[in-house]
Amino acid sequence: MDDEKAKKQAEYQRKYEEKRVFKKVSFNTEKEADLLEIAKNIDFSQWVKDQIRKEFLK
């Protein structure tokens, strides 16, 4: 029973991951340390999505 549940969970996870796209952002640790510190202390992914919506979906 647990094996079947684990298989269903793995299948769900695989399908979920297929729908995701990752975009990479880099920070220069010397010149942009202030920005990096902010990014570490917020939900950066959600913040970026909100900013894109504000800027481009007005």
Has residue 34 been placed in a domain? yes
Low-confidence residues of the chain, pLDDT below 70?
none
Has residue 52 been placed in a domain? yes
Q: What is the pTM of this model?
A: 0.71
How many domains does one find in the chain?
1
Q: Is 36 in contact with 29 (CB distance < 8 Å)?
A: yes
Q: Which domain holds residue 26?
A: 22-58
Give the whole-angstrom CA distance, residue 11 versus residue 4: 11
Has residue 11 been placed in a domain? no
Has residue 41 been placed in a domain? yes
Has residue 44 been placed in a domain? yes
Has residue 15 been placed in a domain? no
So what's the pLDDT on residue 58?
Answer: 75
Has residue 54 been placed in a domain? yes
Has residue 2 been placed in a domain? no
